[in-house]
């Protein structure tokens, strides 16, 4: 639909509002209107308050539960099913580092590459490019557990056949957050005005030189924000990893391509599953570690966006 | 640099073939095509075991029976109990998240001064980024006992509750509803608002009778996306609603299984790589994949509509 076709609708909207406003001012009392407005403002503020209260309650509750276990040994001690008093998250943290390292290694080049192709090279009139776009949007909405099934059938077993190792978890989670990275990078690249690349091209730079030396540097803060938010999401992701082997109870330091592995959220889940009170405290302490990590990354991303994002 | 061709005319083609440029383009193209390959791989990892499953279990049993007990000694494969479980979560989550999210979005888009916007927006992003394990444990350890104390007249039993799971998922999808509908409302041209103000409408009338109707496609998209997210949510429902019974359950105070929780629960035990029980994971996975696919398609259609109208 073009803009012109919408004009009658806008006009109709305006007429409807005019009629409503006139009727109101002629029939309704001014005081009642003010009362209704006041009630609505209170309703809106309680909506905002409710959402924020949920977040604050979660954080406060977890600190109240697990705060007592917040020592360095929580991070450095190996896990245990017998002595919850001294058990820690060492192998799970290492597992998370491996998985996330692999995710970053994968999503940065591939995510940015796909975004550059779609924004700078792709001809939007071609059906295959539209298919790629539609596909990425759809992929962003596929439930994480379905990616777990993909990981199980395709990466752990099947064609790739890595086995239940950290690398398989890494690829699975990487594919899961890839659409988010692509969408954020596209947004960042699109925000760079075309006059910048037109100027570079007019001066004789090639397409790739223009992208490498003008477009990408200008888009870096936006891309980085998207990557960091995706990493924060990847750290907290547990569901797909359940299917690709992270449930193994490992007491030894994991390796990337062999042996079992676990990650922080999965380990937290396993501790929380045990009946004793000490394990519940241990799980809550693990949640605090994860929350600190995720909140730090989120705040960093927000700061980065506010600090470096340029308005052209 | 330009060169002269044999006839002495200036040629505009590049003087060197620039293989590097082409290699870079091929790399970028491969990156973009990878996403299509991923979708194809998802379909190919779901389809063969699903077909294998329906060779053992008839369609009429899967969609006709109401007892879900695939791993029992006398197995039963009626999928309705877990579909109803997912459905309850979606309904409760949207009932919680739509009013809260919509009110927040109207406030942020129409009322809030910039100063408050700058605090609330990042806070909601943080809420969106809360690991689902943390939210699930919060629901299981805190929300459930709190609600039980507040409503002692309800027949609470056992540690799990599908209603509480729905509530927690609702909290999880609030930020999604806020950000999508806030975008839609901010895309409404200022001229519409100014016109209404000029005609004597109050702020409330402008918000509810002009901006919300004008942004309705984006708001609907937000609701559908939230529903899709709620269907696919795993850890929260698994932790808060538990494994549940094999029969259909509409009692919100009791535990119940969802499609996602079934997949998660099945896969944490030892997974024998074959057999009809293993294949149920994929059959339920297919159902989940297509349910969310349809919801996402609908949402994208609505999003496209508001983009086209006002961009």
Q: Is it the case that residue B199 has pLDDT exceeding 80? A: yes
- Model ipTM value: 0.89
- Top pLDDT among A297 and A164 is at A297
Confidence of residue A311 (pLDDT cuts 50, 70, 90): low
Q: What is the DSSP letter of A67?
A: G
d(CA A302, CA B184) in angstroms, rounded, equals 22
Distances (CA, A) of B233 to B34, B180, B252: 25, 19, 18
Residue A116 burial (10 A CB sphere; 0-12, 13-18, 19+) = buried
Q: Taking 80 as the threshold, does the pLDDT of residue A249 lie above it?
A: no
Q: What CA–CA distances, in Å, run from A79 to A87, A262, A270, A292, B282?
A: 5, 11, 11, 20, 32
Q: What element of type H or E holds B6?
A: none
Tell me which of A6-20, A100-114, B144-158 is least confident: A6-20
Rounded to the nearest angstrom, the minimum Cα separation between B177 and chain A is 12
Confidence at B252, pLDDT banded by 50, 70, 90: confident
Asked if the Cβ–Cβ distance from A141 to B273 is below 8 Å, we say: no
Mean pLDDT of chain A: 86
pLDDT digits (tens, 9 = 90+) for B120-153: 888 888 888 899 999 999 999 999 999 988 988 8
Least Cα separation, residue A28 to chain B (angstroms): 13
**Of residues B137, B205, B225, nearest to A283 (C-beta):** B137
Burial of A32 (0-12, 13-18, 19+ CB in 10 A): exposed
Predicted local distance difference test score (pLDDT) of residue B232: 93
Q: How confident is the model at residue A178, as a pLDDT?
A: 95
pLDDT band per the 50, 70, 90 thresholds, residue B6: low
Question: Which chain B residue lies closest to A128 (C-alpha atoms)?
Answer: B33
Predicted pLDDT of residue B301: 86
Buried b (16+ CB within 10 A) or exposed e, A209-248: ebbeebbbebbebbbbbbbbbbbbbbbbbbbbbbbbbbbb
Buried b (16+ CB within 10 A) or exposed e, B162-194: bbbbbbbbbbbbbbbbbbbbbbbbbbbeeebbe
Share of chain B above pLDDT 90, in %: 47
Chain B partners within 8 Å of A181 (Cβ): none
Report the alpha-carbon distance of residue A173 to residue A191 in Å, rounded: 28
A309 vs A268, higher pLDDT: A268
Rounded alpha-carbon distances, angstroms, from residue B211 to A46, B166, B199, B206, B306: 21, 30, 15, 6, 12
| pLDDT over threshold 90, residue A70 | no
Has residue A251 got a pLDDT over 80?
A: no
Per-residue pLDDT tens for B281-304?
899 999 999 999 999 999 888 888
pLDDT at A33 over 80: no
pLDDT tens-digit map of A209-243: 999 999 999 999 889 989 999 999 999 999 999 88
- Is the CB of A58 less than 8 angstroms away from the CB of B205? no
Residue A19 confidence (pLDDT) = 75
| Pairwise CB contact (< 8 Å): A239 & B264 | yes
């Amino acid at each position: 639909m073009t803009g012109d076709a919408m004009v009658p609708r806008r006009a109709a909207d305006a007429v409807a509002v005019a009629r409503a406003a006139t009727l109101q001012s002629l029939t309704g009392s001014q005081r009642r209107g003010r009362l209704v407005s006041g009630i609505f403002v209170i309703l809106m503020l309680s909506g905002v308050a409710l959402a924020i209260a949920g977040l604050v309650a979660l954080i406060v509750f977890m600190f109240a539960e697990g705060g007592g276990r917040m020592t360095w040994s929580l991070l450095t001690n190996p896990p245990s099913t017998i002595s919850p008093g001294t058990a820690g998250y060492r192998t799970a943290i290492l597992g998370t580092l491996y998985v996330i390292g692999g995710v970053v290694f994968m999503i940065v080049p591939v995510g940015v590459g796909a975004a550059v192709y779609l924004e700078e090279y792709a001809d939007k009139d071609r059906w295959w490019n539209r298919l790629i776009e539609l596909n990425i949007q759809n992929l962003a909405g596929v439930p994480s557990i379905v990616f777990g099934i993909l990981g199980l059938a395709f990466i752990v077993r099947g064609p790739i056949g890595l086995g239940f190792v950290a690398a398989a978890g890494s690829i699975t989670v990487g594919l899961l957050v890839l659409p988010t990275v692509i969408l954020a990078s596209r947004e960042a690249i699109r925000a760079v005005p075309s006059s910048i690349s037109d100027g570079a091209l007019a001066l004789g730079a090639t397409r790739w030189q223009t992208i490498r030396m003008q477009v990408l540097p200008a888009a870096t803060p936006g891309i980085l924000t998207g990557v960091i938010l995706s990493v924060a999401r990847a750290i907290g992701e547990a569901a797909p990893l359940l299917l690709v082997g992270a449930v193994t109870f490992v007491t030894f330091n994991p390796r990337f391509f062999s042996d079992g592995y676990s990650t922080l959220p999965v380990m937290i889940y396993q501790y929380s599953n045990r009946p004793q009170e000490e394990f519940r405290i241990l799980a809550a302490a693990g949640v605090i570690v994860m929350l600190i990590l995720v909140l730090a990354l989120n705040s960093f991303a927000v700061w980065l966006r506010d600090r470096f994002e340029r308005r052209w | 640099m330009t060169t002269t061709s044999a006839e002495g005319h200036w040629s505009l083609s590049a003087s060197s073939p620039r293989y590097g440029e082409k290699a870079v383009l091929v790399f970028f193209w491969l990156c973009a095509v990878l996403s299509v390959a991923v979708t194809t791989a998802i379909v190919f990892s779901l389809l063969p075991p699903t077909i294998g499953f329906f060779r053992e279990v008839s369609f009429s049993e899967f969609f006709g029976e109401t007892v879900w007990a695939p791993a029992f000694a006398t197995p039963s494969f009626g999928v309705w109990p877990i579909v109803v479980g997912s459905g309850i979560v979606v309904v409760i989550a949207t009932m919680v998240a739509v009013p809260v999210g919509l009110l927040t979005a109207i406030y942020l888009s129409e009322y809030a001064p910039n100063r408050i916007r700058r605090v609330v927006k990042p806070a909601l992003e943080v809420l969106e980024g809360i690991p689902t394990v943390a939210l699930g444990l919060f629901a299981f350890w805190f929300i459930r006992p709190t609600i039980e104390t507040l409503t002692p007249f309800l027949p609470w039993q056992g540690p799990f509750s599908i209603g509480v799971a729905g509530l927690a998922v609702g909290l999880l999808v609030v930020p999604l509803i806020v950000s999508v509908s806030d975008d839609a409302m901010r895309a409404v041209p200022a001229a519409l608002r100014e016109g209404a103000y000029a005609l004597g409408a109050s702020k409330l009338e402008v918000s509810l009778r002009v901006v919300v109707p004008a942004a309705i496609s984006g708001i609907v998209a937000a609701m559908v996306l939230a529903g899709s997210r709620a269907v696919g949510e795993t850890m929260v429902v698994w932790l808060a609603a538990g494994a549940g019974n094999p029969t259909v359950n509409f009692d919100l105070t009791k535990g119940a299984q969802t499609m996602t929780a079934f997949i998660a629960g099945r896969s944490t035990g030892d997974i024998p790589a074959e057999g009809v029980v293993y294949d149920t994971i994929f059959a339920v996975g297919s159902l989940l994949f297509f349910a969310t696919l349809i919801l996402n398609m609908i949402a994208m259609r609505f999003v496209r509509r508001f983009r086209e109208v006002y961009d």
